[in-house]
Amino acid sequence: MVKQKILCVGGAGFIGSHMSHKLANSDNYSVAQADIWSAKLKIRFENKPFAFHHIDISSDDDELSALVADHDIIFNLASKASPRLYVQDPLAVAKLNLFDGSKVIDACVKHRKKLVHFSTSEVYGKALGSTEPFSEDLSNCVTGPIRNHRWIYSTTKQLLDRMIFAHGRQSGLKFTIVRPFNVVGPLIDHVMVGPDDGAPRVFSYFMSALMNGEPLRLVDGGKALRTFIHVDDLVNALIAILDNPAKSNGEIFNIGTPQNEIRIADLATLMRDIFAANFEMSSVRSDIVTVDGQEFYGEGFEDTERRMPNIDKIKGLGWTPRIMLKDLLEDTMRYTWENRHRLTQEAMDAME
C-alpha cells in the first residue's frame, strides 16, 4: 500500500514531535517536518526517522509551495499560543497566525492538497456566563474589547477558520479544522529558570515553580476552569481524523477531555501534592499565592472563565479520551522532572 505523505508545517514543536513519534512506524502515513527549528525533535528522536525541512513560512514562499506540492496532506501547526504573548507581543501573534497561516492555506488551494488546520479552543472566546459546553457548529464566538489584546489570538485564528471555510466553498479546498482544549504532555513548553522566564502555559508555570522552590501564582485567585487533555489522546484523535477522510472533510472537531475539568486553584494544589509525593528533593514546599491578572500578564489581559468542549463529533469517528487528570499530570511531571537538565532554557531559546 502506498503511504500518504504528510507534511507538518510548524511540526517540530510539542504536538508535532508527538505526532511524528506516533506515526514513525505507520504503514499508512509518512511524516515530514517543515519548521524554523528542530530542537524538540532532537530531544524526542536520537535518530531522525523522517525528513526535516528547515523553512521560515514568513519568507520562504517558494520553498513552502514546493513542499506542499510534494505531499498529500498538510498539517498547519505553526502558532504562538500563550496568553502572555497575546498581551505582550500581539503583532507577532497576529502575523504568524493570520498572515503566515494564510500562506499555508493558499499553497493548499493552489496545489489542491488536503489541509488539516490547527485552530484553538480560544476561538470560542469568553464563556460569558454560559455553562453550555462549546459546540463546533452551534456556539457563538464572542471576545472582549479591542484594547484587551488577550483576544488577538482568538480573533486571528477565528478569521483563519472562516477563510478556510470560504475556500472550501469557493475554491474546493478539502480541509479539517481541529480545536484542541488545553493539551498537556511531555515536552510542553520550557522549564523556567525564574518566575518571569518566557511565556509558557499554566502547567509549566506551576511545574517550574515547584522545581525551583518558588510560589505557584494563581491569576486572579485561580477561579478559571479548564479541561486538560493528554497529548497522546490528542494524537490518537488526529489519527482518527486521518483514517476517516470522508467523515472529517469540511468539518471542525473539538478535541478535549471533559472529565478532566478542574479549577486552576485546585490544579495548583493537586500538582503540589503529586510533586511532594513523587519528586520533592528537599523539605521545601512551594506556597500558593494570588496575583493580579493585569500585573502578571500585562495590560490587556482578560481571562476565559470556563472552557468546556462538547466532543460528540470527534467521538463519532470512534475516538474517546482515555487519560484522566491525575495520570496526565503524573506522566508529564515525571517526564519534566527526569529531563529537567535537557529541557533547559538554552535548548528552548534555540526553538523560539
- Choose the binding region for ligand UDP from 60-68, 93-101, 217-225, 342-350 (rule: CB under 6 A): 217-225
Question: From residue 273 to residue 312, what is the string marking binding to ligand UDP with x (rule CB under 6 A)?
Answer: ------------------------------xx--------
Q: Tell which one of 9, 160, 218, 271 touches ligand UDP (CB under 6 A).
A: 218
Query: Quick check: 222 binds ligand UDP (CB under 6 A)?
Result: yes
CB nearer to ligand UDP: give 183 or 317: 183
Give me the residue label for grid cell 525551583: 212
- Choose the binding region for ligand UDP from 38-46, 220-228, 233-241, 254-262 (rule: CB under 6 A): 220-228
Query: Quick check: 325 binds ligand UDP (CB under 6 A)?
Result: no
d(CA 217, CA 222): 8
Q: Tell me how far, at minimum, the Cβ of 177 lies from ligand UDP, in Å.
A: 18
Dihedral angle of Cα 342, 340, 350, 199, to the nearest 10 degrees: 170
Q: Tell which one of 21, 201, 230, 272 touches ligand UDP (CB under 6 A).
A: 201
The string of DSSP codes covering 51-116 is EEEE--TTT-HHHHHHHHHT-SEEEE------HHHHHH-HHHHHIIIIIIHHHHHHHHHHHT-EEE
Q: Does residue 153 carry a catalytic annotation?
A: yes
Query: Quick check: 83 binds ligand UDP (CB under 6 A)?
Result: yes
DSSP-derived pairing of the beta strands 225-227 and 261-263: antiparallel
The rounded radius of gyration (Å) of the Cα atoms in the chain is 19
- Choose the binding region for ligand UDP from 106-114, 199-207, 273-281, 324-332 (rule: CB under 6 A): 199-207
State how far the alpha carbon of 203 is from the alpha carbons of 215, 277, 328, in Å. 14, 18, 11
Q: Tell which one of 14, 205, 253, 337 touches ligand UDP (CB under 6 A).
A: 205
Is residue 121 classed as helix, strand or coil in its secondary structure? helix
Q: Tell me how far, at minimum, the Cβ of 219 lies from ligand UDP, in Å.
A: 3
Count Cα atoms within 13 angstroms, Cβ side, for 33.
29
Please say whether the beta carbons of 260 and 226 come within 8 A.
Answer: no
Query: Quick check: 115 binds ligand UDP (CB under 6 A)?
Result: no
Q: Tell me how far, at minimum, the Cβ of 209 lies from ligand UDP, in Å.
A: 7
Sign of the Cα pseudo-torsion (269, 270, 274, 277, in order): positive
2 DSSP assignment? P
Q: Tell which one of 77, 123, 224, 274 touches ligand UDP (CB under 6 A).
A: 224
Count Cα atoms within 13 angstroms, Cβ side, for 243.
15
Question: From residue 239 to residue 268, what is the string marking binding to ligand UDP with x (rule CB under 6 A)?
Answer: -------------------------x----
Query: Quick check: 202 binds ligand UDP (CB under 6 A)?
Result: yes
State how far the alpha carbon of 187 is from the alpha carbons of 17, 78, 143, 344, in Å. 9, 16, 30, 11
Q: Tell me how far, at minimum, the Cβ of 267 lies from ligand UDP, in Å.
A: 8
CB nearer to ligand UDP: give 31 or 199: 199
CB nearer to ligand UDP: give 213 or 245: 213
Strand partners, 177: 117, 252
Q: Which of 153, 205, 297, 335 is catalytic?
A: 153
Please say whether the beta carbons of 85 and 93 come within 8 A.
Answer: yes
> Taking Cα atoms as reference points, which of 46, 52, 47 lies closest to residue 30?
52
Q: Tell which one of 53, 80, 217, 272 touches ligand UDP (CB under 6 A).
A: 217
- Total of residues contacting ligand UDP (CB under 6 A): 14
Query: Quick check: 226 binds ligand UDP (CB under 6 A)?
Result: yes
The catalytic residues are 153
Binding site for ligand UDP (CB under 6 A): 83, 182, 201-202, 205, 217-219, 222, 224, 226, 264, 303-304
